[in-house]
Every structure is written in structure tokens, then in C-alpha cells.
Chains A and B, each alone.
Chain A
Amino acid sequence: MTETSMQIDSSSQNPRITWEGCSVLLDINDGGRLVFARLNAGSTLKIGDKKCSLQPLIGCPFGSMFQVEVGLKGPHLCRIFAADADDQTAVLQEKEEIQQNERKDNRALVDDNTAQTLSFEDINAMKRKGAAGRQIVDALIANSSTYMTKTAFSQEKYKLKKQKKYAPKVLLRRPFTRSISEAYFKKYPARVGFLRMDVLSLLLSMANVSAYSDVLVVDMVGGILTGAVAERLGGTGHVCNTYFGVTPYPMEIVRIFNFNNEICRRIVRFPFSDLSLPEINDPGHSGVVENTMSTKMLPNLDEAALSTTPAPSSGGLPRSEEQIIQQAELPDLRLDPVNNVEPAPSIDENSASSVVNAGKSQQPGKKATKEAITSWKQNGFSSLIIAAPDLDPWTVVQELLPHLSYSAPFAIYHQYLQPLAACMHNLQTARMAIGLQISEPWLREYQVLPSRTHPCMQMSGFGGYILNGIRICNNEVSIKPSSV
């Protein structure tokens, strides 16, 4: 029952099998490189010095693994099956057992670059003769004088390292909030305002994003927030993406999700000024924010927003990074799938507004209708999420909070603690909200291996702060809100 409804949802496609025109995340060599691509007949991917067609990936289940094989028609991606991978784990397990009994160490290891007798020319000659990647790796092992003296574990490490170079593997993954967010945070954190996947998830929970909600969103993190909310709504409710000033904030990342038309239709945009236009009997304004205050605040906000619109980044970015961000947002520079040549940095947003779908597909981010805006003014939004690294949270929240239904939760992401502390203090003093809390998640990954379990050596030390709370109804409270 549930299965069928899910399939209908994604326009009669099995969402677990790729189709022509679908967006995918390609994980090359176990996270070494991450590429977002669109599967069209002509799309190609450059791996090392080889250009491979992505055609063989169409119609394969997500989770499939591919390897570059060199055949008569040149290099091509070939699917490898779990059975092959199974021997690897068997071999590994066998080695684990050997390891228990052996006492090897690195006392005899001299790092003088003479261990490998196979030369660069030898390897090239093998390649020319059409040797498979696996054969080259075997030859490298056979010609390494130190390989046998290594422990089983470092032998495995050596083999994996060589495999990455000579026999790269491509894993086909579904572009979901989790994988997209992880990929961006890993490779281009500035483009998503340094918003880590666990922090993004917390924003969704704290703002109670659930079916049929109308979630008010300020997304200056490239569209990852808008996409994440839309994914949770699954074609119900609305993602109400508002912006200050006249230019909507970019939301390119939304196109990486394989959203169907219904989900796209429910992502709407409107300038905040549309919401703030005075209306008679507007129950949303409980008088906490004075009109004079709003008008006084707005010009500043506009200015701030406009100046940061082109790049959802914060200060201190290296120049090159900034340029990449801007390039990604210029429509003219969108790569045609055919020429999808991977540049040195590893995230590729293969133009998601691909030519194939341009005609019939619904574009996300249409302007909200007047009726919709009127309805939100009368009923209030279900919740609010702000991810605007360059705006002052208090300035934004005092404008937006009056538009939330009473008892509606909200969550604000920021990279800095101070503005959130000031915001929390002001919300408390003005008695606008309760259940206020600032939190910072701490996420640690572990390496789990027999006799070698420990936290990973490298970790992200910081993913951002969140201020969350619940809007309260002040209508009948005798205590006057103190002015801030």
C-alpha cells in the first residue's frame, strides 16, 4: 500500500532505480571525489585521464558500484557486483586472523623511494597493452620489496591506495538531503554557509517540519535548506521561501534533488515586503513589533541582504572559492552534460535545469500567489527556519515572528554565538517566545575494526549554533512587553 503510493509520488518511477534525466551523486573512491551529475545519453565523467560515458548507469539501482574498464571501444564504466566485493571482505577477514598471530612492525622500513621496482614507463607500457587496473595493482604489489614485511593491515591500506589510483570505483548514490548536505559540507562548506548535515537535521526537527505544514524559510545557504524542507513535506504544505530586498536568494541546490512536479510546485518565493504590507485586522501582528520599528529596520535589512545576495558566504573566503561560487550561479556557465568535464575541485553541479526536462517540468521557486500570501497572513505560518549567515538574527526574527501561528516553533542557524545570544536575550525580554535554547551539536565518527576501534583521527570540530524556541500568544497578557 505504502509502496505504491510512493511510486506514484515520483511520477511512476521506482525511486531506487535511475532513469534517463535523473540527478545522481557519484562517489568516486570512497568519498575521494563527489560529483553531482545528470544521467543523459550524452553525459560523460572524467576519471583520471579517462573520459567515460554515464550511459551504463541509466536503469541501475542506486547503490550500484562501477569500475573503469578499458575495452575495444575505449574506457567505459562497468558495473561490479556484490559477489566480487564479497571475496574482498573474505580476504580481509582472513588477514585479520593472520594478524592476530603475527608480530610485524615497521622497524625495518626505510623510506628512500627504492621499494618499488616497477617504473613509470613500465606501468604506462602495461596500460598501453590494455592491462586492467587490477592487474596493474597486482604487478605493483609483486614488485614492491617492502610489501611482504608490512602488517596485514598496512598491506590492505597499500592495496586500497593503489586501487584508487589504477582501478577507481564509482558508487551511484541517491541525492537526498543527507548525501547532498554531506557532500557540500565536505567539499564546499562556504556554499552552504558551513551548515553541517546534523545541524540541518536539527533545524528540521526543531521547527517541526511535517506534512501539510507551511514552513516560512529564510534560505541564504544555497537552497540546501529549502530542498531539505521540501523533501520532508513530500508534496504537501508549502516551503515559503522569503527574502529581503528585491532579489530572491539563489537556490541552485534544490535542482540536485529529484523532486517531482508536485514537490517543486510547493516551493514558492516572495519578498518579505509582500507579507509586511499593512492589512486591516491582521491578527498576526500582536503589537509586539511596532510599525515604526519595522519601517526603521527595513532599509537596513534590504541593504544587508542585497549586498550578500550573489554569494551565500561569509567573510574571509579565499578569492578562488568566491569566484567558483559566483560562476556556479551564472546561468550561462552551466555545463552542458555532454561536456561534463570535472574540474580539479570535486563538486560538479551538472546543470540540473537540464535541457531534457525544460519543457514539461515544474520549476521550483515560483512566486507565491496573492491568495496564498493572504491566507498565510490570516492563519500564520506553521513554523520558521532562518539560515542567513550574514544577517543579524534579531533583526530578522522580530520581523518574521509575528507571522507565525501561536505556539509555532522556530529555529535559527548561525555560525556565531554572540548574535544568537543577543537575539535570545531580546526575545526573552520582549516576551515573544518561550522554550528558548541555544545548542551546538558535537558529532564524532568512529573507526570500528577488530582490535582497532577508536574515534576517527580527523573530524569536523564545528557545525554551527542553533537558537530555537516557541512563539507565544501575548494577546491577553497584562505585562507590557518591555521595549528593547
Chain B
Amino acid sequence: MMLAIDPTQKNSFKRQISNGDLVIVYERHDIMKPVKVCEGSELQNRFGVFKHSDWIGRPFGSKVLSSKGGFVYLLAPTPELWTLALSHRTQILYIADITFVVSYLEVIPGCLVLESGTGSGSLTTSLARAVAPTGHVYTFDFHEQRATQAREDFEKTGVSSLITVGVRDIQGEGFPDEFCGRADSVFLDLPQPWLVIRSAGKMLKQDGVLCSFSPCIEQVQRSCETLTTSFTDIRTFEILLRTYEVREVTLEHGGADDIGSPGPSLPCKRRQRSHGSTNGVEKSGSSVPMANPCGESRGHTGYLTFARLKCV
């Protein structure tokens, strides 16, 4: 199970994979798949055929071999791995946005959080982790089938006791009255969030925080105009992650004796040489781990607008 709501389920040196467990099968940092362990089943991928029965009894984090000698790692699920492995039924929120939202909404154990729409449940899972063990997330989506799939996912990952999925057109009807004045935080990921801001304000406790995620600045503009009537401390952010690759790189010294060394990176070589003697790196062309930003990255996800309910 993803969260150790039952302390005996906690991951430890003694915990072993057993029949019925959910594991994240890790092929590469960008290829992962959630699999329910089932004695007698097999997993087939480009590395060969893996028998589930070989997995049972191994600790989480183990490397397992296929019939062909290929290998994968079996990891214990976490909300972060789930976000990378889940099936995208909608555009989902990624780690940087999720993390910022959870912190900024001040979600802590015991909180009651409202969310709409549920989408693929990527954020919902992280919200559930933050409110555990005594809080609850009520999430709404107007799409019946999506809500059902989300429920199934939460069941699979073992967070269903912390989440209630409702089918409701929040943009059209607002949040249900039963939550009036009970929500610690509200999260909106809707095409026209300004239509729900009034209702969200009614749901929040005094000084409660609202967040609206919108990909377009026009949506932000309209939301902020509506927010000023009953909210304060209105702030809009954008957060992106730049990731780095690390490689062992060998740089030539390019001295007079070196023939055919490429020209344009002179300053770099000089620096390397001047450090060479102190590091004990004397030989030309010794390799050093170096980092540089990955060439391709996400340029935009969405704007996050936060606001605090005015105190009356």
C-alpha cells in the first residue's frame, strides 16, 4: 500500500513483496509501470518475461531477472512514482506544481480538502498523503467514467479510506452545501474557475486557502478579478523544474603537443589544467563527472493562483 496508514504495512528491511501487493516496475527513470502482484501471472516487456512468483518474498527495491536475463526493479509505490506511472486519462499535474500546491494550501494531517476536477487523480493522491491519517479529501469530477476509474485507482493504491470521489458539475452547481465552512483548503482545476469562487469561499473556514490552476493567463486574469471581492493575499505563481544530466566528461588539455584538438573551448581547458595539480589529476584527459541541464524540458504547465478567505 502506498501510505502506511496501518503501521504494520510500513516498509522496512523485513517487509517482503507478497501476493496482492502493488509494485512499481521500474525499467528506466522515465519508464515505469504499476503492477498488482498475482501468483501465476507474468509481466511481459521488451526485457523478456517476468514471473510474478519470482517476485514474492523479495524485499521491495530488488532487481529481478526475466527469462532472457533482462532486469527491472520492483519499487514500493509512492505518490511521486504513481504520478510518473499512472495512466493519463487527462492532462495531469506534475511534481513541482503538486508539491507547491500542497505546501501553499497548508495541508497538514487532519485537514479537510475539496478538489475539482479529479482528473487522473495525480494531485489527489498527494493531497491524501498530506491529510493522513485523520483528514479527508473530497474530490469531484463531472465525468462519471473518470470518477469510477479514479475510485478504482485509489482502491489499488490503498488510499481510498482518505478520499471520497463525487460525480458533480462543480462549475455549474458549486460544491455541496454539506461542506459549508468546513474546508481547510480548496483546489480548482477547471476551465472557468471564476464561476466557482463564490461557492469555494462559502466552503472555506476563516483564513482558509484556495488555489486555482489554469494554463492560460486570461483565466488567471478573470479569476483574480472575481477573487478580490471575498479573498485577500491573492498571489499568482509559475513553477518549473530544470533537471540536470550527469556524465563523465573528458576534456583535452590542448597543449602545444596536442594535435587536432578542437579549438573553441579554451577557457574550460585552462581551468581544468590549473586545478589539475591540486586534485592529483595530472594526466591529460582524465574524466570528471559534470552536470548540465537536460536539453528538453517542460516550458509551461499552468499558473497557480492562491488566495486567502478574508476574515469577517
- Interface residue ranges, A against B (CB under 8 Å): 1-3, 5-6, 9, 16, 61-65, 81-82, 85, 89, 93, 174, 176-178, 197-198, 200-202, 204-206, 208, 210-213, 231-236, 283-284, 378-380, 382, 405-409, 417-418, 420-422, 424-425, 428, 434-446, 448, 450, 453, 465, 470-477
Contacts and interface: CB of A to CB of B under 8 A. Distances in A.
Nearest to A448: B224
B236 interface: yes
B43 interface: no
A380 B12 contact: yes
A87 B137 CA distance: 36
A291 to B, nearest CB: 19
Interface residues of B, number: 83
Q: Which of A63, A178, A417 has the most CB of B within 10 A?
A: A63
Contact of A475 (B3, B59, B136): B59
A110 B79 CA distance: 59
B225 A450 contact: yes
16 contacts: A2-B134, A62-B207, A177-B103, A210-B132, A235-B109, A379-B13, A405-B13, A405-B60, A406-B13, A406-B60, A408-B11, A425-B289, A438-B291, A441-B96, A446-B303, A448-B220
B207 A61 contact: yes
A197 B29 CA distance: 26
B249 to A, nearest CB: 10
B109 A178 contact: no
B13 A435 contact: no
A428 B247 CA distance: 11
A61 B206 contact: yes
Given A205-B126, A406-B61, A425-B289, A6 B111 contact: yes
A205 B234 CA distance: 25
A236 B133 contact: yes
Contact of B243 (A197, A439, A472): A439
Interface stretch (B33-41, B70-78, B143-151, B170-178): B70-78
Contacts of B63: 472-474, 476-477
Contacts, number: 251
A3 B239 CA distance: 32
Contact of B244 (A440, A445, A476): A440
A439 B3 CA distance: 25
Contacts of B13: 283-284, 378-380, 405-406
Contact of A421 (B80, B95, B290): B290
B257 interface: no
Nearest to B83: A205
Contacts of A3: 112, 182
A472 B73 contact: yes
Q: Most chain-B Cβ atoms within 10 A of its Cβ — which of A174, A283, A406, A476? A: A406
B103 A61 contact: no
B110 A211 contact: no
Contacts of B280: none
A2 B237 contact: no
Contact of B236 (A5, A235, A446): A446
B246 interface: yes
B221 interface: yes
A63 B106 CA distance: 14
Nearest to A64: B311
Given A407-B75, A442-B242, A475-B59, A6 B110 contact: yes
B129 interface: yes
Contact of B61 (A202, A439, A441, A472): A472
B130 interface: yes
B38 to A, nearest CB: 20
B99 A174 contact: no
Contact of B76 (A2, A5, A176, A407): A407
Contacts of A405: 11-13, 15, 60-61
Interface in B230-250: 232, 234-244, 246, 248
A407 B109 contact: no
B59 A205 contact: no
B62 interface: yes
A451 B134 CA distance: 44
Contacts of A63: 206-207, 232, 308-311
